[in-house]
Structure 1
Amino acid sequence: MPQPLDALAVRTWCSLALEALGREREEIDAINVYPVADGDTGTNLYLTVESAARAVEAVFAAYETGSDAPGLADAVRAMAHGALIGARGNSGTILAQLLRGMAEVLGERDGGAAEALRRAAESAREAVAHPVEGTILSVASAAAEAAHAAGAGDDATAVTAAYARACSALEETPGQLEVLGRAGVVDAGGQGLLAVLGALFEAVTGDAPAARPSSRAHPVVSATTEPCDESGPAFEVIYLLEADEAAVTRLRSRLDGLGDSLVVVGGDGLWNVHVHVDDAGAAVEAGVEAGRPYRIRITHFAAAEHTEPRERVQRAVVAVVPGEGLAGLCAEAGATTVLARPGEPPASGELVEAIRRAHAREVVLLPNDFDLRHTAAAAAEQARDEGVRVALIPTRSAVQGIAALAVHEPDRRFDEDVVAMTSAAGATRYGELAVAERQSFTSAGVCQAGDVLGLIEGDVAVIGADLATTAETVLDRMLSAGGELVTLVLPDGAAEGLADRLEAHVRSGYLAVDTVIYHGGGAPLLIGVE
């Protein structure tokens, strides 16, 4: 039976959309031939919706301790914001703007589904520099028109009409865009949007959408075999940008002159910028001139499009790392890496993608962070459903991951390799130094903003005034229980002489203990004692 379009319905919508895109991801990837045949539209949409769903869950979690529940405005704004900051690729960026347009209407008391869908379609077209028919924009516009014609008084009726028209609009896309007609496929972004609208239909009506014939019923030429347009831009550049609207207007003009597939979405000072260019540096520089770009992602299309199919290897390691330097170190050791920046933990979809990139029958997954245990478990379960044998070693720090990777032997039996890596990680005590952001109570007492915190096994053990002295105290406490090897991971730009001072401290006080130093970690200092 029909359900009110409230916060709970938005939560259900996110969950159902994520499930639908999870089921259809590979098929959508396979028919992705526009604007670039890089075979990642389904994956990008999945990761975008995963970010949206995570933001909605955070809103509900914030209300769990009280008696109130989030309102519709809170939920839809969280969904739109989550999609904005997690948007991937051309279609994911457009979907983020569609959700933002809906939030603008549903966040108001008198806004209904029909008006929300209309505003979504309008705002998405406004965000695209040169809209093209036969794409996700066409499907969104057709759905909005049908919802509006059905009437604004009943959300279930409007959504039902929108979904039905979106189905037929998707089938029309091969006749609207020549590249789709040649390949014999519907638009990949449009099919992804249909999955999202189908989830909205189910959340509002309570009925599952009718099964649709596979897009492979068309004479499909998949993205991996479709001839590539050699004349197109070489890079996809995408980043979040903090800037005012005037600066973004200038940025649009500059990026439009640099490349194509330009989409700039967002507002209120935060934007997601997507463009295809030959000069990736110039696109990033334009963002620097406009404001503060971050979460910069640059993809080289040539590498994505022309890579020959390769045979699966038997075994691989996937490791989450906190800095570029460690990523290089782990990559040299043969691991596929996922970068975790401060305050930006990877989503389960990113870990699944890394497992797929490893292209192995057996994968050892090293999350290297206690807070990633549930995310990593979800990724491992999904990869197992796809036929990959995955072993999750619950490493809590990058130094434990380094220890595990050091004993990895791909020629060993899988179970034996996992046992050896798990033992090495478990035998490594880990510490970390951090800087307190505010006054708070800790297991070592009250700290003030700016204090240096020495954590051992995740608990604050030392509160100090400077990094080097605090690190020495942490080392002494960790080595008091014994040890043979100290691993120090310093960030790039660490204070000059810090590594030498700590190495000398270990050498002078613990003659039988060796020290190994790596650079490129994300924290002020990571410490491991084996």
Structure 2
Amino acid sequence: MKIEYVDGKLLKDMLISGANNLENHKGLVDKLNVFPVPDGDTGTNMSLTLASAVREILKSSSDNIKDIGKAASKGSLMGARGNSGVILSQLLRGFSKSIEGKDKLNTIDLANALKEGSDTAYRAVIKPIEGTILTVARETSEYAVKIAKKEKDIKRFFEKLIDKANKSLDKTPELLKALKEAGVVDSGGKGLVVIYEGAYRALIGESIKKDNYALDKEFNKEANISTENIKFAYCTEFILESNKITSDKMKEIVEKYGDSLVVVGDDSLIKIHIHTNNPGLVLEEAIKYGQLNKIKIDNMKVQHENRLIEEYNEKVEEESKEMKKYGFIATAMGKGLASIFKDFGVDYVIEGGQTMNPSTEDFIEGINNINAENIIILPNNSNVIMAANQAKEISNKNIIVIPCKTTPQGFSALLAFNPEADYVSNERAMKYALSNVKTGQVTFAVRDTNINGVDIKEGDIIGIGEGEIKKSGKDKKEVTLSLIEELVDEDSEIITLFYGEEIDEESANEIKDIIEEKYDYLDVELYYGGQPLYYYIVSVE
């Protein structure tokens, strides 16, 4: 059947189906990492970004195209994680801007919106790199504009679009040497193709579902409710285990008992959320069809009153604090590293990094929690810098993002900070300090590959120095010592070792003793970092 336009409801379904498809395939996208390290997170970052967009869309019952676009743009902007997530948020931002004022979208409207999304994403990246998600978005959108005038059937239009996107994705290794060496296509580009494919499935009436997407989201809807407006006092949540009833039928049965009803799941596991004055009746209805678990009933009026008191006390306490000249936010991976940053005077530590990139909203929350004239952000990860900069653009405070790509760079920047200097001088000094430290990381390989002439087998211990794989072997100690030897030169003065959560103190001290004996002219320091996946992080200054 020919489809000539997309209305608001279908657009919403396509976005949700695209998000669900990405969530279902995020593991596959994560594995498309150039380095064979265990922290590939492009799929996870893109999925969390798009999930934030969907949550914002679901907050409103509107089927107006402009409202849906704005919600998707806002949600993805705040939820953006990692470089791929930030780029995805910009794609949605441009798409949303292009469809404003439309009641329905034809192929020309969709093509122009995709092109505006691509242009917006390119403008957001200081040095766009071809062979990435940007390339797939650009080539696909340019092709869409080319065929839109002739192809009026949106179903055929999307089929051709997805075919072009896959061809563009397949070419990414030819454009980016690192991808070709690793034998993979670009992970961000693959994530974008998966989104397109999920959206297409909704277009043809076969929307992608996700087993636990809605089960885990959308059940914290009580914020900002005034007591006077609470018609139904009890927020009731539970899970029904049953193969006797569908989620749609369950929704029909309990909807008469209250409002704010959300019923999601499949035929064996259904989660129900409802605001009601008779939670017992709702539970009685549900128990007829199976077992209940994770039952939670809260009195929202009492909760709201308590929340108002807490917020007032927090506001009074915050206002009583004198505004500082400087405040700091840092990202840290591991409790030990977080503790060290706090010892350095960092006000707000976001625990994340390699294994979980913080979102733009995480940084905004940190910014709002600091009462300072100037707030300095230390991302400490190359995949976090874009989210930090996006938070800077949103905030109305004076934010300085120091583009530190590693934890050692973050510490080096902090040591260069002068509390008496102005923020311009500090920014200059802290950025300069990044070049004074070398970073090494020791982890394990998750697949066979050969990079920079280093032959790597799955399970090997690998040493990464200054962003390049330098060593591979079977023994953690040998690889660590060999990596340090690679990093130390005649200008080196200090070696600092941060050992991870899988390394015991005795083993770490054994390596420290060997380093001190070999480099008796250098200072050697050892700290518990507690970082996951990385046995050691090495700093050489």
**What TM-score bracket applies, with the shorter chain setting the length?**
0.5 to 0.7
Contact 2:404 2:434 in 1 (8 A): yes
1:443 aligned residue = 452
Whether 1:252 aligns to 2:284 is no
2:335 aligned residue = 324
Whether 1:5 aligns to 2:16 is no
Number of paired residues? 338
Query: C-alpha displacement at 1:351, in angstroms?
Result: 1.2
Closer/same/farther in 2, CA of residues 512 and 20 from structure 1, 3 Å limit: farther
Contact 1:51 1:82 in 2 (8 A): no
Whether 1:123 aligns to 2:166 is no
Which AA in structure 2 matches 1:379?
Answer: A
- In the alignment, the residues of structure 2 paired with residue 364 and residue 13 of structure 1 have an alpha-carbon distance, to the nearest angstrom, of 29
1:28 aligned residue = none
1:369 aligned residue = 381
Which AA in structure 2 matches 1:131?
Answer: H
User: Structure 2 matches for 1:302-313, cutoff 5 A?
Assistant: 307-309=317-319, 310-313=321-324
Secondary structure of 2:446 counterpart: coil
User: Structure 2 matches for 1:18-417, cutoff 5 A?
Assistant: 50=79, 61-64=190-193, 70=199, 71-72=201-202, 77=209, 81=213, 84=216, 121-123=261-263, 127-128=272-273, 131-132=275-276, 249=293, 251-252=294-295, 260=298, 307-309=317-319, 310-335=321-346, 336-340=348-352, 343-383=355-395, 386=396, 388-417=397-426
Query: C-alpha displacement at 1:329, in angstroms?
Result: 1.5
Contact 1:48 1:88 in 2 (8 A): no
Closer/same/farther in 2, CA of residues 59 and 83 from structure 1, 3 Å limit: farther
The answer for unaligned runs of 5 or more in structure 1 is 22-44, 101-107, 138-244, 263-274, 279-299
Secondary structure of 2:10 counterpart: coil
2:62 aligned residue = none
Whether 1:423 aligns to 2:452 is no
Closer/same/farther in 2, CA of residues 122 and 357 from structure 1, 3 Å limit: closer
Contact 1:431 1:474 in 2 (8 A): yes
After superposition, the CA RMSD in angstroms is 5.1
Closer/same/farther in 2, CA of residues 68 and 122 from structure 1, 3 Å limit: closer
Closer/same/farther in 2, CA of residues 302 and 48 from structure 1, 3 Å limit: farther
Contact 1:49 1:83 in 2 (8 A): no
Which AA in structure 2 matches 1:432?
Answer: Q
Which AA in structure 1 matches 2:369?
Answer: R
2:496 aligned residue = 487
Query: C-alpha displacement at 1:446, in angstroms?
Result: 3.4
Whether 1:515 aligns to 2:530 is no
Query: C-alpha displacement at 1:365, in angstroms?
Result: 0.9
Closer/same/farther in 2, CA of residues 502 and 356 from structure 1, 3 Å limit: same
Which AA in structure 2 matches 1:64?
Answer: V
- In the alignment, the residues of structure 1 paired with residue 55 and residue 394 of structure 2 have an alpha-carbon distance, to the nearest angstrom, of 16
Contact 2:55 2:218 in 1 (8 A): no
Query: C-alpha displacement at 1:65, in angstroms?
Result: 8.7
Closer/same/farther in 2, CA of residues 83 and 126 from structure 1, 3 Å limit: closer
Closer/same/farther in 2, CA of residues 13 and 434 from structure 1, 3 Å limit: closer
Closer/same/farther in 2, CA of residues 77 and 444 from structure 1, 3 Å limit: farther
Contact 2:377 2:399 in 1 (8 A): yes
Query: C-alpha displacement at 1:457, in angstroms?
Result: 1.5
1:158 aligned residue = none
Query: C-alpha displacement at 1:477, in angstroms?
Result: 0.2
Closer/same/farther in 2, CA of residues 515 and 444 from structure 1, 3 Å limit: farther
Contact 1:17 1:49 in 2 (8 A): no
Query: C-alpha displacement at 1:364, in angstroms?
Result: 1.1
Contact 1:48 1:83 in 2 (8 A): no
Query: C-alpha displacement at 1:486, in angstroms?
Result: 1.1
Cα deviation, 1:446-475, whole Å, max 9, x if unaligned, reads: 322321110012221111112111100000
Query: C-alpha displacement at 1:517, in angstroms?
Result: 1.8
- In the alignment, the residues of structure 2 paired with residue 503 and residue 252 of structure 1 have an alpha-carbon distance, to the nearest angstrom, of 52
- Of 61-70 and 483-492, more deviation after overlay is shown by 61-70
Closer/same/farther in 2, CA of residues 465 and 493 from structure 1, 3 Å limit: closer
- In the alignment, the residues of structure 2 paired with residue 369 and residue 444 of structure 1 have an alpha-carbon distance, to the nearest angstrom, of 26
- In the alignment, the residues of structure 2 paired with residue 411 and residue 132 of structure 1 have an alpha-carbon distance, to the nearest angstrom, of 57
Which AA in structure 1 matches 2:477?
Answer: A
- In the alignment, the residues of structure 1 paired with residue 58 and residue 218 of structure 2 have an alpha-carbon distance, to the nearest angstrom, of 18
Query: C-alpha displacement at 1:66, in angstroms?
Result: 11
Contact 2:198 2:208 in 1 (8 A): no
1:478 aligned residue = 487
Contact 2:471 2:482 in 1 (8 A): yes
- In the alignment, the residues of structure 1 paired with residue 450 and residue 363 of structure 2 have an alpha-carbon distance, to the nearest angstrom, of 34
Closer/same/farther in 2, CA of residues 127 and 17 from structure 1, 3 Å limit: closer
Which structure carries more relative contact order (alpha carbon 8 Å, separation 6+)? 2
Query: C-alpha displacement at 1:509, in angstroms?
Result: 2.5
Closer/same/farther in 2, CA of residues 481 and 392 from structure 1, 3 Å limit: farther
Contact 2:77 2:360 in 1 (8 A): no
- In the alignment, the residues of structure 1 paired with residue 316 and residue 434 of structure 2 have an alpha-carbon distance, to the nearest angstrom, of 38
2:150 aligned residue = none
Contact 2:333 2:351 in 1 (8 A): yes
Contact 1:444 1:463 in 2 (8 A): no
Secondary structure of 1:512 counterpart: coil
Cα deviation, 1:316-346, whole Å, max 9, x if unaligned, reads: 1111000111112111221121001653211
Closer/same/farther in 2, CA of residues 83 and 430 from structure 1, 3 Å limit: farther
- In the alignment, the residues of structure 2 paired with residue 83 and residue 354 of structure 1 have an alpha-carbon distance, to the nearest angstrom, of 28
The answer for unaligned runs of 5 or more in structure 2 is 1-5, 20-49, 60-73, 90-186, 225-235, 240-246, 265-269, 280-289
Closer/same/farther in 2, CA of residues 132 and 424 from structure 1, 3 Å limit: farther
2:442 aligned residue = 433
The sequence identity of aligned pairs, in percent, is: 16
